Structure 1
């Protein structure tokens, strides 16, 4: 059935066939065919744009038009075929529910309570990371909160946050704390995945955080361009998760620099879902 919805559009003239967009699509909707990235089938594209940030030539964009409706069942069947599996894995129901929730939210509906809203593979295939959940710590915190006391711990690390707000969309490009600063640009999830974020990265830096998957990339590019033009930023460190949908954060910063017409040193780092730090070459 054809519906008017958001879907990927590929500019073949700009596409150089590098294939960087292929692994970023959890649904497998994009493949390299005859040296160009092509949409395998409209029904496989969820229209959320995880692939956008991976294209070095700007050949990908999200457009709204009449297209086959996104079909989570067809996607799962297609992925199973790609993996050489004859029967769907138990993860199928979770995958379909996550995708249905994303589509409902993306079309103006409200996200069902308790659902996950992320189109990246780590959400489609949730994993236990093996970290202790700290039942004793939670019990102590609950006890302190119920008695009106501040929850404390011998290992509590003091906050190194030097300013507010921290969300990219909320920080004005003229904010005084940006002047001559060293900028730390982080994806939202890194604050949870990397336990030593405050001690290892925040001291001496101004932090801006956002989600390259669900936030407006164009808005962020304009914001960074304005900051880079006027704030005299000394250096930028980009901290992102090692999942496909997070790579767009680095591209956003790069395009902001290009639009501003300035050259600033940029260091790129990735955090694994296990909390390990990797340097991007």
Structure 2
């Protein structure tokens, strides 16, 4: 194993294989749609192999807690990075997102945010990174209410 920049093996880039869950319809259990690790934007290198030809999902940290069908409606078929525009040190985010978009053939960009004002910063960072990348990538911003309902 190569030396990791932060020294934590949990930060190592890896692909997560889907597991077959038998009788998921009868048990009501949902399967995780997460197919890569790590997800935290600070930890994802722009050179991560799973970013190539990906549909990129940028999720505000609170969205999966508020929106019950997050895996099925948003993660499925996408590569996830998550961040909190209020609590994180976001100073490197625009540069990092720009590098991700420049270095990879990203097919689409979806940003899920909460309806609270501080969350809008994540959508703005994604828009700025997209503009700085010089690429024409479809961008969708989805707003989730604190009641768990989709606002748009």
Structure 2 residue 119 is the aligned partner of structure 1 residue 254: no
Q: Secondary structure at the match of 1:217?
A: coil
Partner of 1:171 in structure 2?
44
- Report deviation, 1:156: 1.7
Aligned residues: 127
After superposition, the CA RMSD in angstroms is: 1.2
Rounded Cα–Cα distance in structure 1 between residues aligned with 2:135 and 2:33? 29
Question: Bigger relative contact order, structure 1 or 2, given CA contacts below 8 A and separation 6+?
Answer: 2
Q: Where does 1:13-28 land on structure 2 (aligned, <5 Å)?
A: none
- Report deviation, 1:163: 0.6
Rounded Cα–Cα distance in structure 2 between residues aligned with 1:278 and 1:180? 29
Q: Of residues 55, 74, 84 in structure 2, which corresponds to 1:182?
A: 55
Post-superposition Cα deviations, 1:9-31, rounded to whole Å, max 9, x if no partner, equal xxxxxxxxxxxxxxxxxxxxxxx
Q: Where does 1:199-214 land on structure 2 (aligned, <5 Å)?
A: 199-214=72-87
Rounded Cα–Cα distance in structure 1 between residues aligned with 2:91 and 2:99? 12
Q: Secondary structure at the match of 2:27?
A: coil
Partner of 2:70 in structure 1?
197
**Structure 1, unpaired ranges of 5+:** 1-152
Structure 2 residue 146 is the aligned partner of structure 1 residue 273: yes
Post-superposition Cα deviations, 1:224-248, rounded to whole Å, max 9, x if no partner, equal 0100101110100110000011000
Q: Secondary structure at the match of 1:248?
A: helix
Q: Of residues 107, 112, 115 in structure 2, which corresponds to 1:242?
A: 115
Rounded Cα–Cα distance in structure 1 between residues aligned with 2:135 and 2:80? 20
- Report deviation, 1:262: 1.7
Rounded Cα–Cα distance in structure 2 between residues aligned with 1:263 and 1:248? 21
CA contact (8 A) 1:234 1:265 kept: yes
Structure 2 residue 97 is the aligned partner of structure 1 residue 224: yes
**Structure 2, unpaired ranges of 5+:** 1-25
Rounded Cα–Cα distance in structure 2 between residues aligned with 1:154 and 1:262? 44
- Report deviation, 1:155: 2.2
Post-superposition Cα deviations, 1:190-223, rounded to whole Å, max 9, x if no partner, equal 0100010011111110011000112123311011
